[in-house]
Chains A and B, each alone.
Chain A
Amino acid sequence: MKATILAGGRGTRARPLTNTVPKAMIPIISKPLMEFLIDLLKQHGFDQIIVSTSYLAESIEAYFRDGARFGVQMAYSFEGHLTDRHTIPEGLGSAGGLKKIQEFSGFFDDTFVVLCGDAIIDLDLTAALAFHRDRKALATIVLKDVPRAQVGSYGVVRTTPDGRIVQFQEKPSPQDAVSTTINTGIYFFEPEIFDHIPAGTAFDIGGQLCPQLAARGLPFYGVTLPFAWIDIGSTADYWRATQMILRGGFKVEMPGRELAPGIWGGINLSVDLATTDVRPPVHIGSSTAIEPGATVVGPTVIGRNCLIQAGARVDACIVDDYTRVSGFAEVHEKIVSGRFCVDRDGRNVELAATGYGFVVDDARERHRWSDDDRILMEFLASQNAPHPDASGSSHPDGPCYATLTVPSRVESIRLAAEFVVRSARNMHVPPAADSLFEVAIVEALNNALKHGNAAQRPGALIVCEVERSDRRLTVRIFDQGSGFVLPLAPQPEWSAGDTSTIPERGLGIPIIESVFPIVRTIGHRGDFGVEMALTF
Chain B
Amino acid sequence: MRIDVDEREGVAVVRPASERVDLQVAGRFRAALLQLIDAGQRRVVVDMGAVQLVDSSGLGALVSALKTIKLVKGDGDLRLANVQPPVVALLEIIRLNRVFASYPSVEQAVHSFP
Contact = CB atoms under 8 A, between A and B. Distances in A.
Please say whether chains A and B are actual partners in one complex.
yes
A13 B54 CA distance: 25
A419 B90 CA distance: 34
A328 B89 contact: no
Given A343-B89, A350-B86, A376-B63, A355 B94 contact: no
Interface stretch (A30-38, A232-240, A379-387, A420-428): A379-387
Interface string A355-391: 1101110000000000011011001100110000000
A330 B57 contact: no
A358 B56 CA distance: 10
A462 B63 CA distance: 44
Contacts of A331: 93
Contacts of A356: 55-56, 90, 94
A373 to B, nearest CB: 6
Contacts of B22: 354-355
A319 interface: no
B108 to A, nearest CB: 15
B94 A330 contact: yes
A218 interface: no
A416 B104 CA distance: 35
Interface in A340-360: 341, 343, 347-351, 354-356, 358-360
Interface stretch (B32-40, B75-83, B95-103): B95-103
Contact of B89 (A347, A379, A380): A347
Nearest to B55: A354
Given A347-B86, A349-B86, A380 B94 contact: yes
B23 interface: yes
Given A343-B89, A354-B53, A383-B99, A375 B64 contact: yes
Contacts of A332: 92
A372 B30 CA distance: 12
A351 B60 contact: no
A254 B23 CA distance: 44
A384 B93 CA distance: 12
Contacts of A178: none
A269 interface: no
B17 interface: no
B85 interface: yes
Interface in A436-480: none
Contacts of A330: 92-95
A329 interface: yes
A373 B26 CA distance: 13
Nearest to A375: B60
A359 B92 CA distance: 12
Contacts of A373: 56, 60
A383 B100 CA distance: 11
The contact size tier of chain A is: 20 to 34
Given A329-B93, A330-B92, A356-B94, A375 B63 contact: yes
A380 B62 CA distance: 13
A283 B45 CA distance: 43
Given A349-B90, A350-B90, A359-B93, A383 B56 contact: no
Given A343-B89, A376-B63, A354 B56 contact: yes
A376 B93 contact: no
A350 B51 CA distance: 13
Contacts of A348: 86
B67 interface: yes
A360 B92 CA distance: 13
Contact of B85 (A334, A347, A354, A376): A347
B5 to A, nearest CB: 23
A469 to B, nearest CB: 11
A455 to B, nearest CB: 34
Nearest to A336: B93
Contacts of A329: 93-94
Contacts of B25: none
Contacts of A341: 93
Contact of B93 (A347, A349, A379, A383): A349
A328 B60 contact: no
Nearest to B67: A379
Contacts of A359: 93-94
Contacts of B94: 328-330, 356, 359, 380
Contacts of B99: 383
Contacts of B89: 343, 347, 349
B50 interface: no
B59 interface: yes
A355 B55 contact: yes
Contacts of A360: 93
Nearest to A376: B60
Nearest to B30: A372
Interface string A222-239: 000000000000000000
Contacts of B23: 355
Given A330-B95, A354-B22, A355-B23, A376 B59 contact: yes
A343 B89 CA distance: 8
A61 to B, nearest CB: 37
A384 B99 CA distance: 10
Contacts of A376: 56, 59-60, 63
Nearest to B89: A349
B64 to A, nearest CB: 7
10 contacts: A343-B89, A349-B90, A351-B90, A355-B23, A355-B56, A373-B60, A375-B64, A376-B59, A380-B95, A383-B95
State the 7 A-B residue pairs at the shortest beta-carbon distance, nearest first.
Answer: A355-B56, A354-B55, A349-B89, A372-B60, A355-B55, A376-B60, A379-B63
Given A328-B94, A347-B89, 5 more contacts: A330-B92, A347-B86, A349-B86, A354-B22, A380-B96
